[in-house]
Structure 1
Amino acid sequence: MNLYDTVFEVIDMRSFSNLWYWIGLAVLWSSVSHWVIGVPYDTVIRARRGKTQDAMRDLHDLVRVNVNRILYIAEVSGTLIALIWSALLTMLGLAAFVYQVEFATAVFLLVAPMSILTLMTVRTAHLIRENEDRGEALIRRLLRHRIATQALGFLSIFVTAMYGMYTNLYVAPYSGF
């Protein structure tokens, strides 16, 4: 057995049996749960505790910048981005579930929930701007968005784990190149 065979025997190159895929999935959802519409969660908590006026001012500034950025992108090029993204997601979904390409399935299960999260983020940004949320109302809206993000992440990880277990148990093992 040569080095090439040994490496590919030790490191399984299939997506759902690869430890790095699962670490990446956990890091992805941990990161998006921490950054609520681009604002770090610790900033929201500091403003909620209200020990200093600077914390609330920092929160308002960060939210204002990120809401304006998100809505500007959505208004200027949102339609084009949605068109291109939906075409790419459709191609990826076809490769994943019609042609049964495991790597495409793994990527689809990562990016499809991110698409839903993007829509949720744009909606939250619209609501913040429409209602001109400030203070406690802004904190409540950001916390609601974070809880919705965590629920989506939980569902995404659950579906990915179930599909990954199914793939690992019922699909023939990888035989190499």
Structure 2
Amino acid sequence: MQWYQFVLEMIDLRSFSNLWFWIILAVQWSMSSHWVLGVPFDLVLRARRKGGPALEDLEAMARVNVNRILYITHVSGLWIAGFVAFTLTALLVLGFFYHVEFAQAVFCLLFPMTLVFLLGLRTAHRIADGDHQGEALQGCLIRLRLATQGIGMVSILLTSLWGMYQNMHIGALG
């Protein structure tokens, strides 16, 4: 086997039959449910159990990340929204109208993360408007994590169903 055949096999664009796609999907949802607004969830749990310095760390880390997120969205939010809308629309058209499987796979990865980002942005505004200390902050972050996990579960289910359909459909044609 030539080296380029090996490389092309490893970067197979038939994404739903590629192990790397499923590994990326699992890692994506694992990381996004662990890092809530840039704060590791174990810090939220530690602050809830112990309080004191852990709670101060949580409040400081949340304040820094919320301010950073809000600054970026206020400065270049329209540009980001336009770019994301263009990218998702292009992936949607390429994937589901022109049947490019790689575009379908990337859409299945990016679209749910866009929803998670929008929920995070809403939570960041809520935290900046007053829920930035103690139990109110912990409650916001816990609710955001539960919403992220819910979106992740639905996303993994729909992606796996679509991937199985694609693999059976292409298997029937081949």
TM over 0.5: yes
TM superposition shift of 1:91 = 0.7
- CA deviation map 1:21-74 (0-9, x unaligned): 101100000000000000001111110102x51100000000000000011111
| Cα shift at 1:107 | 0.5
Instruction: Note the C-alpha offset of 1:4.
Output: 6.4
Aligned equivalents of 2:62 and 2:11: distance in 1? 43
Whichever residue aligns with residue 149 of structure 1, its letter is: T
- Alignment of 1:82 with 2:93, yes or no, is no
Deviation at 1:120, TM superposition (A): 0.6
Give 3-state SS (helix, strand or coil) of 2:25's partner: helix
> Aligned-residue CA RMSD in angstroms?
2.2
Summarize the Cα distance change of 1:147–1:75 in structure 2 as closer, same or farther, 3 Å threshold. Answer: same
* Structure 1 counterpart of 2:126: 127
Q: How far did residue 132 of structure 1 move?
A: 3.5
| TM-score calculated relative to the size of structure 1 | 0.90
Aligned partners of 1:30, 1:158: CA distance in 2, in Å?
A: 15
Which residue in the other structure is 1:44 paired with? 44
How far 1:7 sits from its partner (Å)?
4.2
Gaps of 5+ in 1: none
List aligned pairs for 1:1-177, cutoff 5 A.
2-3=1-2, 7=6, 13=12, 14-50=14-50, 52-172=51-171
1:106 Cα shift? 0.4
- 2:59–2:132 Cα contact (<8 Å) kept: no
| Higher helix content, 1 or 2 | 2
1:131 counterpart SS class:
coil
Q: For the Cα contact (< 8 Å) 2:63–2:132, is it kept in 1?
A: no
- Deviation, structure 1 residue 133: 2.9
State how far apart, in whole Å, the 1-side matches of 2:144 and 2:105 are.
26
Contact 2:95-2:103 within 8 A present in 1 as well: yes
- In structure 2, relative to structure 1, the CA distance for the partners of 1:106 and 1:173 (3 Å cut) is farther
Question: 1:70-123 CA distances to partner (integer Å, 9 max, x unpaired)?
Answer: 111111111111012101110111000000000000001000111111111100
Q: Is the 8 A contact 2:131 2:140 kept in 1?
A: no
Unaligned stretches of 5+ residues in structure 2: none
SS in 1 for 2:15: coil
The alpha carbon displacement at 1:131 in A equals 2.3
Report the Cα distance in structure 2 between the residues aligned to 1:112 and 1:153, rounded to whole angstroms. 11
Q: Equivalent pairs: percent with the same residue?
A: 49
TM-score by length of 2: 0.92
Change (3 A) 1:117 1:48: same
